[in-house]
Chain A
């Protein structure tokens, strides 16, 4: 058993599961978005705003943002533990990724509920 305090869920199995579940959420969101844009070639601001005014769309988008953040954290954590060997540099990189993820969540919520 290798101890790790910086991974997403401390358990390899949990991280593996989350990576797959979040990937599925992101896949459905991406397919939905591409489909929506293709089906509405004359999309304007009003219609776009209308789409994001619905609670369901807001919940779905927030779910996608949270999924992206969790997915990105697991991925970037893996990359950093593979390629950045000095502990200090790795911790700084991981902290930057964590901060960026947090900013994206707050910013995303602000945009979603601010329109």
Chain B
């Protein structure tokens, strides 16, 4: 099959280019895209990409495969290859450091902005702060995010305003703490989000939902933040 990989080494190349490589899949097996990258790297050791757990848990190998963001380690070739061709590009919208490796600073800055930690100003109890099973269930579909950035980098609103729009990933996390029964900073958190950019740049096109490798729904979480803002303000 033909693999077209985005290559860019700023120390050598003047501009990025696509490198076409013909590759035979051993035994014609339906391997994962990450395994394919390993085969490519054996052919050309200069190819750079991030990887770690190889099972969709660490979120390192997010990339754009035939136009759709996803994790290379849990995406089988059969799911993305069309006409025996696969185009691999870095996640769109963020600066490229080298080849498929992107600079995620802006993404993490937005994550930092939503204060991704429990804030509770009441005196700490002798034991843990307890939650009922129902209260704990509120966090399902929110806490599972692995910060792979597949969603935020598939969102046009994030592409155009990565410094102002928190992005689907950050907002999913924001709601994770807004929905937490143990958190007491709900009012302050909401006040930080009530501007025309942070939340309201989301126009609900749901690219984030379509690409999330963990099957999460940031659009739904954003809708819930919006409802909380409405309830607080009316």
Give the chain A neighbours of B164 by CB distance below 8 A: 2
Interface window among B38-46, B120-128, B193-201: B193-201
Give the chain B neighbours of A61 by CB distance below 8 A: none
CB–CB B161/A12 < 8 A = no
Contacts A1-B191, A1-B192 given; indicate if A12 touches B160 (C-beta within 8 A): no
CB–CB A16/B195 < 8 A = no
- In the complex, how many residues of chain B place their beta carbon closer than 8 angstroms to a beta carbon of chain A? 20
Interface window among A3-11, A31-39, A97-105: A3-11
Q: Interface residues of A: mostly helix, strand, loop or mixed?
A: helix
Give the chain B neighbours of A82 by CB distance below 8 A: 156-157, 160-161
Q: How far is the CA of A9 from the CA of B230 in the complex (A)?
A: 15
Give the chain A neighbours of B192 by CB distance below 8 A: 1
CB–CB A13/B198 < 8 A = no
Q: How far is the CA of A16 from the CA of B200 in the complex (A)?
A: 7
- Judge if B51 is at the interface, Cβ distance under 8 Å: no
CB-based nearest A residue for B164: A2
Point out residues on B near A: beta carbons under 8 Å.
Answer: 156-157, 160-161, 164, 191-201, 226, 229-230, 233
- With A10-B196, A82-B157 already in contact, 6 other A-B pairs whose C-beta atoms are closer than 8 Å: A2-B164, A3-B195, A12-B199, A12-B200, A78-B196, A82-B161
